[in-house]
Amino acid sequence: MSARTLKPAAERAPALVARLHASHPDAHCALLHRNAFELLIATILSAQCTDVRVNLVTPALFARFPSPKDFADAKPGEIESAIRSTGFYNSKARSIRGACRVIVEKHGGEVPRTMEALLELPGVARKTANVVLGTGFGIASGFVVDTHVHRLARRLGLTRESAPEKIELDLQRLFPRDEWVFLGHALIFHGRRVCIARAPACDRCALADLCPSKGLPADAWKRGPKPRSSKRSPTRAAARGASARLSRGRTAGPRGRAGSRGGSRGSGSSRSRRA
């Protein structure tokens, strides 16, 4: 069975936004937090761990370490033992301690509000930075591309890319900036509730008539179109330039450009496996 032919993604995008608003009006970040600092720590902990597990750990963790300074001053082993059940606890503790030290020493104890500054924190890559900026501060700097958003963007034919930063760039081109934060949450909700990794429920999916993958095997998207040709064209060259800027962590610009950006699992938490 092959993918259905539908209108181009740009023509389907407005209807997808409307359907996701109607289907998941309650879409929100599943990580429990009271401020951007707690969200940053919870997001670091969510790498390779479910949001449910993280939410079991963080209330006691934040009671014991209520501020960045408390984490920065923690004795060796203290953070590790408090977060052990989230897995990869040594590298996560290293990231948390390192990030909090930078926050205390360089930002006066406040979580920074720019992509550039967030990316300087140990253990923080674009996904975590976008979570903190979008959900913690209400700043739409880009798209959170986690495992669900990655899968849905491919199944829905919104991207042909595999690298998160390139998927993010395609999504930014397709959707208006003021929808980026909501759509990140809504796609994650849809991925957990309907377009499930191992068994997409196409028969009860509100996006079915807009989806080229309706009825296809669950893993068909992995065998989908290969990444775009490297053949140069002005548009592709511009996209590569924007992608490179994204990789360097600059803040995303207006729609279509990149300027000077639970149950869910992340991608790791150490410096070499930033999330």
* Catalytic sites, residue numbers: 127, 146
User: 195 — phi, psi (to 5°)?
Assistant: -85, 65
In the bound state with ligand SF4, the residue whose beta carbon lies nearer, of 14 and 59, is 14
* Closest to ligand SF4 by CB, 103 or 216: 216
User: Which of 126, 127, 154, 155 contacts ligand SF4 by CB under 6 A?
Assistant: 155
How many residues touch ligand SF4 (CB under 6 A)?
A: 13
The 8-class DSSP code of residue 206 comes to T
| Distance in Å, CB of 24 to ligand SF4, minimum | 12
We find the least distance from the C-beta atom of residue 15 to ligand SF4, in angstroms, to be 13
The answer to whether 20 contacts ligand SF4 (rule: CB under 6 A) is: no
DSSP 195: B
188 with 22: CB under 8 angstroms? Answer: no
Please give the helix or strand (H or E) that residue 169 lies within, else none.
helix 164-174
Using CA atoms of 63, 64, 66, 70 in order, give the dihedral in degrees to the nearest 10.
180
CA distance 247 to 255: 17
Instruction: Please name the residues in contact with 8: beta carbons below 8 A apart, sequence gap of 6 or more.
Output: none
Tokens of 204: 């009860």
> Which residue(s) pair with 195 in the sheet?
200
Binding mask 109-148 for ligand SF4 (x = CB under 6 A): ----------------------------------------
Site string for ligand SF4, 184-213 (x = CB under 6 A): ----------xx----xxx--x-xx--x-x
What residues make contact with ligand SF4 under the rule CB under 6 A?
155-156, 194-195, 200-202, 205, 207-208, 211, 213-214
